[in-house]
Chain A
């Protein structure tokens, strides 16, 4: 029996043990990582893991258990634990049962064999190429770099006959650069994600990384307050949008009255011309898949069209309660697949896509009379309920009459993202992926965007 076939085995064992319905999710993955420390490869790894997540139902009582997977005894133990638990939990009167789809087919380019088979020794060489490119000046070092490639396969099956499989690869890069002297240092941080090594340009990532550290070193502390147009780089902006839009369109948050958009279907929530969709069928998307993690088929779904809220994303449970269509239940994160089997599927965006505009980043900056370009924030955290944020900028430059001027730091970018979405000044044309915190499901593909109404506040 292959490890993935344990999904079907888990369902059978659960039914034999007295469950009236069961759902199993089995996955295997291999991880290869390289850690750069102070310009050299300090740690390299090869890891394998397999696991199963099992949900059982007796009447309206439901329990979830999971286990790392070596053989049938792990499935038996997981089943026994779940059956013991299910007898002791209160009923969920809203439990709608499991889905019954058989999902065939796959989304293009989610798995890259060449990436999956690249040996760790070659990954070391790629990490060193990026490191060398990052040393743009003599005083620049690369104190820390994480380079990870994962190859995974999963299968979901349940007692209603639903089944589906998916295979993917993930590439994750997180590097820091330091410039300057012992008493005065600048830091650059860069991240890059994808499903294939061929999407990564190690030379250009390295150069940008080293340059960011130099720009941070040479930036001056901002004293005053700057109002005007704020242009934000996709990577950190995506994280802000995942927290706000990702929660606002999540049917679980809508049903629980946590979403600020819960009663706003058909109403304006964003600027005219702004289109936002959830696109699990995006070729080569980080979260792309034909089947979600509870066995429902996925489908692309417009969420905001021309600034008007049209729809939410639903897992099977919330689709049944709110009258939507499922397909957005996920356990997988995009920065690492590790441990996904150990989490029950939850309602989530897949690939949240902000429709690109026509302008390049340079053209957007060129159109700004007065404002700021923010390339990197310390931690792009937004209050998901209110939309408020005040974030320290690490790499930013003042824009005057369409040109980047002084680099600034020690300043707070202050605003409200839900208000910002109604004041979008421009959207760029080049989509880049961004992700939330490490184990967060879903991701965002977006271009650079410009907003009115935010402020950059200095130290006075």
Chain B
């Protein structure tokens, strides 16, 4: 493998380019799916491949393959250089790359229990328990549970002299129940995940997880239609996290700034939220799902302050966008895998906790809505609009949590929402998931924050 890396860099250097790198990946994963308390599928995947990039005067050429022969790597390096040379004549601005300090490191993953050392029978039993525990009554129509583990080994070497290698190990356990009664039908879910070993799964009580999921699905069958219009909303950490991730996060990705596609372009130093709003993207957050040791360009993971007490502080960067905007590298150049390109991507994105207790926020809310868990969110870097779908919620009346309401859509202008934040809790949580750029290129991330009280438009149900 060493010889292939050296050869790739040599072929790139001969290709008349400004910069080049090779990324080698071996991705192993195991997934166990349990449906209606029966094994639905056990899947083991090994994907191994490489990606070669060439950069010339603002243009990138990529080539990748799964055949690790000298001939294949040579062909890929030559193709990447050829494409970059051709595209560099198409009128691109000649953006420079940030000065890259050569780095040589080999890092081991931070985990306590290597999932490879746990038998498939134990993992299957864990997922089976989550599925079985959901059978709490006749209204539970269907149960589902999933266990997943990912062990990915990376090596990145470039023409500047960087040669780093590391492993990312992630684990996940979760479930979903469908409840039905007459014509009414709804679902609920829960999961736990993170960057780390089997200890993440072991920390979960599978019986409790299953019962909670089923209880929420049943509660939704009798939940009321949520109110609609502009109202006081206490967003739970999941929905707070979606606000951080989908609107501010995506619009703070450096490539959206260099393209001037983001509503946050040229906004550093300006007020974007109330003083209670501080936000980070943090690739170093211990054990969170989006935590990375290096990004896919070989830059170490980084904690980046995006909003500081309501004032916009800065963007996330790849090697190229930090060079173009003359800003520090932040280790956010990420790719879904060896056959996908590098974009500027988030890691763990969250609002920092506040000083209020959750109970105090509820007590001080006369008429509002408390959200519970998210289903989806959508980015809008151009317009700065927020769209998130909550799984369910509860009415809050005169300082007390009231009846459950069905899933709803939360919308509005993100900066209007952030400027209206008047309370933020000490309680804080991150939730993992996978994030796409537009519609594709999914990478592991997490998002979260405290319970936050603000004004948001609510609709649906």
Contacts and interface: CB of A to CB of B under 8 A. Distances in A.
Interface in A324-374: 335-336, 338-339, 342-344
Given A88-B121, A336-B440, A46 B459 contact: no
Given A46-B79, A68-B66, A143 B124 contact: no
A344 B30 CA distance: 12
**Which A-B residue pairs are the 4 nearest by beta carbons?**
A390-B460, A390-B409, A379-B378, A143-B261
A65 B385 contact: no
Interface string B72-103: 00000001000100110011100000000000
Given A50-B67, A390-B460, A391-B409, 20 more contacts: A38-B259, A40-B90, A41-B90, A44-B60, A81-B44, A88-B120, A89-B120, A92-B39, A94-B38, A143-B256, A144-B438, A182-B260, A182-B265, A344-B43, A378-B378, A383-B407, A385-B186, A392-B411, A438-B436, A438-B442
Contacts of A338: 339
Interface of A: 31, 33, 35, 37-51, 62-70, 74, 77-78, 81-82, 85, 88-90, 92-94, 120-121, 124, 128, 141, 143-144, 146, 174, 176, 178, 182, 185-187, 191, 216, 256-258, 260, 335-336, 338-339, 342-344, 378-379, 381, 383, 385-386, 388-392, 410, 412, 414, 437-438, 457, 459-460
Given A47-B64, A392-B409, A120 B83 contact: yes
A258 B90 contact: no
B65 A49 contact: yes
B92 A40 contact: yes
Interface stretch (B177-185, B202-210, B297-305): B177-185
A336 B439 CA distance: 11
A81 B459 contact: no
A425 to B, nearest CB: 22
Nearest to B140: A257
B62 interface: yes
Contacts of A391: 387, 409
A62 to B, nearest CB: 8
Given A49-B49, A68-B48, A457-B459, A44 B62 contact: yes
A38 B64 CA distance: 25
Contact of A459 (B266, B375, B438, B457): B457
A42 B44 contact: no
5 contacts: A43-B59, A43-B60, A260-B183, A378-B385, A457-B459
A161 to B, nearest CB: 24
Interface of B: 35-36, 38-39, 41-49, 58-68, 79, 83, 86-87, 90-92, 119-121, 124, 128, 141-142, 144, 178, 180, 183-187, 228-230, 255-256, 258-261, 263, 265-266, 337, 339, 341, 375-376, 378, 380, 382-383, 385, 387, 389, 406-409, 411-413, 436, 438-440, 442, 457, 459-461
B92 to A, nearest CB: 5
A414 B255 CA distance: 34
A44 B119 contact: no
B68 A70 contact: yes
Contacts of B382: 176, 178, 185-187
B66 A50 contact: yes
A263 B144 CA distance: 21
Nearest to A435: B439
A459 B230 contact: yes
A378 B47 contact: no
A74 B48 CA distance: 10
Contacts of A81: 44, 46
